[in-house]
Amino acid sequence: MQYVCIYNKSCSNPTQCPALNCYGKLLHTVVTGWDDKECIKTFETIGHDTHMLRKLDSVIKYKAGTSQY
């Protein structure tokens, strides 16, 4: 699976992607000090827009290479 990002046309290893790393640090910095309700609302919004929970569910349920999106 390849992840498309603005830094590079595709990232074969998202854990080493500088753009995703910076995005994670930015999110962490932004939400520092927020109360739980604000964090939950942000998580729900990002999860809905990126279909994150559906993708995570596929990762958990299926063996590698058997799920088709």
Q: What is the predicted pLDDT for the residue at 37?
A: 92
Cα 12 to Cα 6, 15, 19, 29: the distances in Å are 14, 9, 13, 26
Walking along the chain (69 residues) 10 residues at a time, the average pLDDT comes out as 54 70 83 87 85 78 70
Name the H helices within 1-69.
18-31, 36-50, 52-61
- d(C-alpha 69, C-alpha 63), whole Å: 14
Q: What is the predicted pLDDT for the residue at 27?
A: 81
Q: Does the pTM exceed 0.95?
A: no
Q: What is the predicted pLDDT for the residue at 1?
A: 46
